[in-house]
Amino acid sequence: MASMASEGLTVTQRDQLMVEQEVGKIYTHFSELPPSSKSILLELQRDEHLEYLTRGLGILPPSFASLDANRPWLCYWILHSIALLDEYIEPEMEDAVVDFLSLCQDPGGGYGGGPGQMPHLATTYAAVNSLITLGGSRSLSSIDRGSLYMFFMKMKQPNGGYRMHDGGEVDVRACYTAISVASSLNLLDDELVQDVGSFILSCQTYEGGIAGEPGSEAHGGYTFCGLATMILIDEVDRLDLPRLVDWLVFRQGVECGFQGRTNKLVDGCYSFWQGGTLTLLESLHQLFHGNGLSDSSQSDASELSGDEAHATHDHSCSGHGLENTTSSINLRDTSYNFIQGRRKGGPLFDSLALQQYILLCSQLWDGGLRDKPGKNRDFYHTCYCLSGLSASQYSTSKDFDSVPLPQAVLGPYSNLTEPVHPLHNVLLSKYHDARDHFAIH
Amino acid sequence: MELSDGERRGDPEGERLTLPLTSRPEWSDVTPLPQDDGPRPVVAIAYKDDFREAMDYFRAVYRSDERSPRSLSLTTLVLSLNPANYTVWEFRRRVLESLGSELLCELDFTEQVAKGNAKNYQLWHHRRWVAEKLGSEAVSRELDFTRKIFLIDAKNYHAWSHRQWVLQNLGGWEYELDYCAQLLDEDVFNNSAWNQRYFVITRSPFLGGLKAMRDSEVDYAIEAIKKSPENESPWRYLRGLYKDDVESWVHDPRVASVCLSILKEQRDLLFSLSTVLDLLCHGFKPSKELADSINALRTSDPEKPDSNMEMARSICSILGSHDPMRANYWAWRKGKLLQA
């Protein structure tokens, strides 16, 4: 039957059909269950996930050699997931992680994928986010911010982008990792953001989403990185926001989860990259208030006046948003101001449907979360499925940390995860602690 | 005298290459450098012996910055064990430069790595570095290589970025539009191919740029839409052709025309209606026929809309129930209409 149906179908259609059938089976089975069983299936398997995650901090099997240059990522994926579950690790383990990450820190600034490896922006992001997640003075003081700033400046490119590492690739992800870390550590300044906005703008495609490099295809991961960065550097006005929203909402498909690109397959990790981006957009007044760029002709106009504003602004303020006087002080507050703001509107997507995909299709009963049925669990997907779950659960809350109503949480209310700072993807409480720490140190 | 396994197999040379590094005479002057994971390692990988050893020797030559042929072959070994180690790739580039090595072999090497995993960032970045050094003589090989990758996975993101970089920096545009057409012929849902098409028509020095190409591209997109109206790619592509020229978008009769024919054939509502909505938001005046088609879809409110605004709101309501996954989005669109 399946083979008859697949005659005359393209590769895309065939692949999509197979996934729809797998997911359809799960949802059909679920719908036929009595309410009490449904409740059980929708439970977040906290204990099992915690067990899987905690074991990951110890010894990993030889197959993990492929992640030997990504060990700070393993720390972040695991620690952030544990934090989302409102759980803890032993203090000795916390100290051990801090010490290990210190060994990954390069004397010249930045963190590598393991002890002795070259510093790399992505592993720096993972390390810093891990240390922020651990929190506390010992952890936060271990970050050498002075040399880190130098590392950022070395990686900064004339076209506004950043190189991932010495001699490495330049893309939107590199911009995000650098800017996000600089912002979290109170290091963001005019030098670091110079021309970044122009580079990211050149990566917004005809589809509305954002690509890794100018000309490439609109993609969920890069879209999150691009939008988050534009917000952090206060240049979000320059993007065609309505077009971005339009592209994003169409990335949620019949499976209820999100796909990364048009006509590609659903994947649990896009619960955060795409779903999380939508929650960011819900907080932008540009989309919800009055003359808020309700069509693209208006956004063209504001972009035009933005360029004019750049021309008349004093040199030290170049590259920043229309309405601010722009100075280093403003840049240091963009992240904080963002989460102090209230949700402006939305939700723009189907939050309960997304939670349904995460809980019924991504979650494994023996712990961990995955891309889609048929794939294996891994720490990356566990992290981003849970992050997406959090973003989704809080997506109708007025403030970023206000407790969601029961109807916003799919399954038992005990499924509620901890709220994150949507620009950095660390727990909100941890972000605040770090901000307080770096304000005085 | 006892024969070694290799000698018994008739392959003493091969055996020598699989000897542990510590047993190889050419490495006897190097002290391997163990990884410093500290006293209480976390996320500690239980490396196999050959992996651990190769990395210990790598750390030694990396520390001493030894740019020699043996360093080069050591990086080959290490990358076969973990092709994602960017430090090793970067060191390899430094060694290649210092040795003034011939770089065509690097293309073979990266092809081997790609066979194991074509979605590895480092291999593509290395390939780009090599291609840049080789210059325009690398064009056909790079286009062939990415074409081969697309035979296995026509949407490989890294491969597409690489191909675009090659075209922009080294050339080779002549047959690119044809190639896009071929890929779309095989799979009209391949959004990467649509994206590439947009890239070509806007940037190819052989074509006239977006404005010059727009007319024929509109026809191309519409043909694809008519074949599979549920395919989002050509709809987005069509809209993208008018990205910076809303006036022309509104006034191109072919756009409203394809929406009308799709609606009449009842083959898709989602993209045809959302396209009409977009047109209305930009001041488009629908024909009576189009207005009637839309009115026929309304399930409530018997009064016919007599303004663009009301028609647009109608469409938002229709889509809200026809496309429930995006009910929140259509409600937001409807609300914004009142502000416009």
What are the tens digits of pLDDT across the range A176-203?
999 999 999 999 999 999 999 999 999 9
Partner B contacted by A99 (CB < 8 A)? yes
How far is A269 from B252, CA to CA, in rounded Å? 40
Active site residues of B: 119
How far is it, in rounded angstroms, from Cα A245 to Cα B139?
37
Lookup result for tokens 């030997």: A68
State the Cα–Cα distance between residues A196 and A175, nearest whole angstrom.
Answer: 7
Can you name the residues that pair with B44 across neighbouring β-strands? Answer: A59
Q: Is A60 on the interface with B (CB under 8 A)?
A: yes
Note the pLDDT tens digit of each residue in B113-128. Answer: 999 899 999 999 999 9
- pLDDT for res A293: 34
Closest CA to A379 of A61, A124, A79, A115: A79
Percentage of chain B lying above the pLDDT 90 cut: 85
- Alpha-carbon gap, residue A91 to A74, rounded angstroms: 18
Separation of alpha carbons B331 and A347, rounded Å = 10
Residue B266, C-beta contacts closer than 8 angstroms, at least 6 positions apart: none
Residues 77 through 106 of chain B touching chain A, CB cutoff 8 Å: 81-87, 90, 93
pLDDT > 70? residue B16: no
C-alpha to C-alpha distance for B327 and B320, rounded to whole angstroms = 4
CA pair distance A14, A290, nearest whole angstrom? 44
Q: Which residue, A96, A185, A181, is CA-closest to A140?
A: A185
Q: What is the pLDDT of residue A316?
A: 33
Rounded to whole angstroms, the Cα distance separating A372 from A19 reads 8
| Encoded tokens for A66 | 């492929």
Residue of A nearest to B325 (CA): A350
pLDDT of residue A303: 32
Q: Which residue has the tokens 């209820």?
A: A256
- Cα dihedral value B334, B336, B339, B340, nearest 10: -90
Q: What is the predicted pLDDT for the residue at B340?
A: 57
| Mean pLDDT computed over B234-256 | 96
Strand, helix or coil for residue B301? coil
Lowest-pLDDT range, A13-22, B17-26, B214-223, B274-283?
Answer: B17-26
pTM exceeds cut of 0.95: no
Residue of B36, B45, B199, B241 to mutate for A, most A C-beta atoms under 10 A: B45
**Whose structure tokens read 């922009």?**
B168
Which structure tokens are listed for B58?
Answer: 């790598």
Question: B47 is written with which tokens?
Answer: 């490396």
Beta bridge partners of A427: A420
**What are the pLDDT digits (tens) for B292-335?**
999 988 877 666 667 888 999 999 999 999 999 999 999 999 99
Provide the ipTM: 0.94
CA distance A130 to A276: 19
For B171: left if phi > 0, alpha if psi spans -120 to 50, otherwise beta; the answer is: left
Residue B10: pLDDT band (50, 70, 90) is low
> Does the active-site annotation cover A381?
yes
Residues B145 and B123: their CA atoms lie apart, in Å, by 13
Distances from the Cα of B209 to the Cαs of A296, B217, B334, in angstroms?
A: 22, 11, 36
CA distance B2 to chain A (A): 34
Residue B3: which pLDDT band, with cuts at 50, 70 and 90?
Answer: low
* Catalytic-labelled residue, pool A120, A381, A430, A435: A381
Ranges of chain A whose pLDDT falls below 50: 1-5, 291-326
Does the structure show a pLDDT above 80 at B282? yes
Which of A153, A203, A195, A207 shows the shortest CA–CA distance to A178? Answer: A153
Q: Which of A238, A243, A261, A370 is catalytic?
A: A261
Indicate the DSSP class of residue B287: -
DSSP state of A162: E
Please check whether residue A70 touches B, CB under 8 A: yes
Query: Is A269 an active-site residue?
Result: yes
Contact in structure between A156 and A162 (CB atoms under 8 Å): yes
Rounded to an integer, what distance in angstroms lies between the CA atom of residue A336 and that of residue A340?
6
Tokens of A56: 């990951």
pLDDT of residue A7: 65
CB atoms within 10 A of CB B66: 15
Of A289-293, B237-241, B266-270, the range with the lowest mean pLDDT is A289-293
SS3 label, residue A120: coil
Measured CA to CA, the distance from residue B66 to residue B212 in angstroms comes to 55
| Residues paired with A377 in a beta bridge | A370
Contact status of A41 with chain B (Cβ, < 8 Å): no
Distance CA B71, CA A65 (A): 21
- The count of other CB atoms within 10 Å of the CB of residue B185 is 11
The crossing angle, in degrees rounded to 10, of helices A172-184 and A145-155 is 160
**Peptide bond preceding A347: is omega within 30 degrees of 0, i.e. cis?**
yes
- pLDDT tens by residue, B47-87: 999 999 999 999 999 999 999 999 999 999 999 999 999 99
Q: Is A397 helix (H, G, I), strand (E, B) or coil?
A: coil
What pLDDT was estimated at residue B298?
Answer: 84
Cα–Cα distance measured from residue A395 to residue A391, given in angstroms and rounded to the nearest whole number = 6
Q: What is the spatial distance between Cα A112 and Cα A100, in angstroms, rounded to a whole number? A: 11
* Contact yes or no for A252 and B328 at CB 8 A: no
Which element (helix H / strand E) includes B307?
none
